Amino acid sequence: MFRLDLKTAVITGAGSGIGKAIALLFARQGAAVVVLDIDEDGGAGTAAAIATAGGTARFCRCDVTRSEAVRDVVAAAARDSGSIDILVNNAGIAHVGNAETTAEGDFDRLMQVNVKGVYNCLHAALPHMKSKGGVIVNLASVAASVGIAERFAYSTTKGAIRAMTMSVAKDFIRFNIRCNCISPGRVHTPFVDGFLAKNYPGREKEMFDTLARTQPIGRMGTPEEIAHIALYLSSDEAAFITGCDYPIDGGFMTLNT
């Protein structure tokens, strides 16, 4: 079950964290993985790890905010593989601030990466999927559905991702293209460690424990746990699923009352 043999998967932001976990898992399940990331060291490292484990992967440095670059990379992947079967829109950045304290430049930056970046990838990949179908998985967030303090710009962009998912699912179902999104709660990634080190020097463990306890289950998620649901949604076993948002949040949305 959940095999991805003979499928080509394009995964953005696959140089670290959730994207890397998805890339490694998809490759283990038989997919040929195209690793996209702006971080050359991280992206190349993911592709190398896949190759070392006997999988198939290649790294393409790509800034998802640049439409021409995205179009060229996706077209090359489709040409080399014969198709784009799976697109995982994972690349994204975060920001701390409310509507008053968020600077215009920061708001624009998040919109460019988190929203325009996903649009660029959708716009480039969909024409290559229309002939034989495909699967799109977008990474949203619980912040798209519930209020989280000091996450104004981030919540705005993730709400857009959730809406974009439903729109694509509706418009392209006739081409046998499925589109779903995943809404993680807090997940322990290198971003979390960097955030704590920058904002709470000397108090990293204390603040990590505080953030972990906001999930009723008592801990943060792992990138691998997010990767498993991405695998399911991308597999043939999920062929009847489209236009859905999947919270994976340790009870954050339903039990924090």
Active site residues per annotation? 154
Pairing mode, if any, of strands 245-248 and 86-89? unpaired
What lies within 8 Å, CB to CB, of 37 at 6+ separation is 12, 13, 14, 15, 16, 19, 43, 46, 59, 61, 62, 91
Q: How far is CA 201 from the centre of its chain?
A: 28
Cross-strand bridge partners of residue 182: 139, 246
CA-nearest of 223, 234, 243, 256 to 87 is 234
Among 188, 167, 182, 76, residue whose Cα is nearest residue 122: 167
